[in-house]
């Protein structure tokens, strides 16, 4: 039920009431979250807060909170001793990557990537958008800072929330097909980032724990085959998979991706079965006021609710439930925990001329723009794909520049690539500068093409 549904107070929830707290805080926030670019705005605010906090008189409290606050949990052979930053990066971000896995599977099953021919163009474009930034980074960093070559994957990533948020702000100035193109490129980019994390940022691999994790994934698949519907079963198994992956040396967030891929994209009941079952239940629904009728109506209503729920795919149910949490809580908290760079006592020119910061920024700005544009052109030229309807090459170049907004996953890879705090801070500065300039350049290119124009939908 929506917050404003109906005028009858009996149909209003607390959140939709005229009381001070929901009217002043809850309802404005719900309206804000309905804005397409809202998650990007929250993410930007969290990153700005981290930077201000880290450079304020209270900076010690910032670093103590995330680096020195520890959580210890022991249960038999299970032992966890993690800082708050590690809880966010290894734990909460696994939920974020689970939602990413759901989005990727949806695109492959029922979305833009289900048709291999239609998927060819964004996949090829995304490959170029990963390859060229990595090469630019290595070209700038390897000769003078060989100890920093591990960060080659940092400028490969595109932040979907930011990039799609900027596209949303452009409104109808862009054709719908162009918006779908950049979304498909970002999804393919996520797949590439996941593979890179799994293949190149895994250390001290424990085959025993990896086998445990793989066995649990098989168990989940078997449970789906035999019709297990218990949320407790799947929830417990998911936590066990996460812990096994954490202990195996493969980054724990890979567990989220694997679980997302395993989530069924089809509902238990088809639309025809739902209609049939719902009508059968409603035909026998009691309309009397006797205690027996009340008891039977409760049973029938619960049965109808179960049928309705099972007529929605688990993928859609989970994505709808978790997306607000990942967009407005988990990812902003990740930005707050990882974007804090202390600039005090540093020489700005020394930072900006450092090869690591330059490599990341140049990879995001030039690598993404050149890589996506060039490989899109090659795909069209060779017949592997064709430009989306009503989309021009200027659209492609502008969207390619916007793909250089690499924030969340770029910061995530930075944590994996650099144990050295100084190298990590230089990479973060490159991410901030590169993402900002990429967003500005992409917006200018797209607005220059479409100022005053409205693209027909």
Q: Using one digit for the tens of pLDDT, what is the confidence trace for 277-322?
A: 888 887 777 776 677 666 777 777 888 888 888 888 888 889 888 8
Output 296 or 327, whichever has higher pLDDT: 327
CB 82 within 8 A of CB 71: yes
70 φ, ψ to 5°? -120, 150
pLDDT at 453: 46
pLDDT at 403 over 60: yes
pLDDT, tens only, 161-170: 777 777 777 7
Tokens representing residue 437 in the block: 């300039």
- The per-residue pLDDT for 206 is 83
Q: Decide: pTM greater than 0.75.
A: yes
Report the SS3 class of residue 250. Answer: coil
Residue 412 makes CB contacts below 8 A (sequence gap 6+) with 89, 93, 157, 197, 253, 334, 338
Question: pLDDT exceeding 70 applies to what percent of the chain?
Answer: 88
pLDDT of residue 4: 46
Q: Which residue has the tokens 């249960």?
A: 75
pLDDT score of 172: 72
pLDDT higher than threshold 80 for residue 52: yes
Q: What value does the mean pLDDT of the chain take?
A: 83
In degrees rounded to 5, what are phi and psi of residue 156? -80, -20
Model confidence at 229: pLDDT above 80: yes
Q: Tell me the per-residue pLDDT of 236-292, one tens digit each, with 9 for 90 and over.
A: 999 999 999 888 877 778 888 889 989 988 887 888 888 888 888 877 777 766 776
């Amino acid at each position: 039920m929506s917050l404003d549904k109906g005028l009858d107070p009996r149909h209003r929830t607390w959140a939709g009431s005229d009381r001070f707290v929901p009217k002043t805080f809850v309802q404005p926030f719900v309206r804000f979250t309905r804005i397409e670019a809202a998650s990007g705005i929250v993410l930007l605010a969290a990153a700005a807060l981290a930077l201000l906090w880290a450079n304020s008189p209270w900076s010690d409290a910032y670093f103590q909170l995330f680096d020195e606050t520890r959580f210890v949990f022991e249960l038999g052979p299970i032992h966890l001793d993690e800082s708050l930053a590690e809880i966010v990066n290894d734990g909460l971000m696994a939920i974020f990557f689970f939602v990413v896995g759901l989005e990727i599977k949806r695109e492959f099953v029922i979305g833009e990537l289900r048709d291999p021919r239609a998927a060819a163009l964004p996949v090829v474009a995304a490959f170029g958008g990963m390859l060229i930034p990595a090469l630019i980074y290595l070209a700038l960093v390897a000769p003078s800072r060989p100890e920093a070559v591990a960060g080659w994957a940092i400028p490969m990533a595109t932040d979907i929330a930011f990039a799609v948020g900027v596209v949303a702000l452009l409104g109808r100035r862009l054709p719908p097909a162009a918006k779908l193109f950049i979304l498909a490129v970002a999804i393919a980019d996520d797949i590439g980032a996941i593979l890179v994390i799994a293949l190149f940022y895994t250390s001290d691999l424990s085959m025993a724990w990896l086998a445990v994790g793989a066995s649990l994934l098989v168990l989940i698949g078997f449970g789906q085959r035999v019709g297990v519907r218990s949320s407790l079963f799947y929830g417990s198994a998911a936590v066990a998979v996460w812990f096994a992956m954490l202990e195996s040396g493969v980054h724990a967030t890979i567990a989220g991706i694997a679980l997302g891929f395993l989530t069924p994209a089809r509902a238990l009941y088809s639309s025809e079965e739902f209609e049939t079952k719902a009508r059968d239940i409603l035909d026998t629904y009691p309309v009397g006021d006797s205690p027996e009728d009340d008891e039977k109506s409760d049973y029938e209503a619960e049965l109808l609710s179960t049928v309705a729920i099972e007529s929605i795919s688990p993928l859609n149910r989970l994505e709808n439930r978790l997306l607000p949490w990942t967009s407005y809580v988990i990812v902003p908290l990740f930005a707050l925990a990882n974007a804090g760079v202390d600039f005090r006592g540093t020489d700005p020119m020394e930072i900006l001329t450092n090869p690591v910061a330059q490599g990341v920024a140049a990879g995001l700005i030039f690598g993404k723009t050149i890589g996506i544009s060039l490989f899109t052109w090659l795909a069209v030229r060779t017949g592997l794909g064709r430009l989306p309807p009503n989309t021009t090459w200027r659209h492609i170049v502008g969207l390619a520049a916007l793909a250089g907004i690499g924030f969340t996953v770029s910061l995530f890879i930075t944590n994996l690539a650099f144990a050295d705090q100084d190298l990590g801070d230089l990479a973060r500065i490159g991410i901030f500068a590169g993402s900002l300039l990429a967003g500005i350049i992409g917006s200018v290119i797209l607005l220059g093409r479409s100022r005053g124009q409205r693209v027909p939908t």
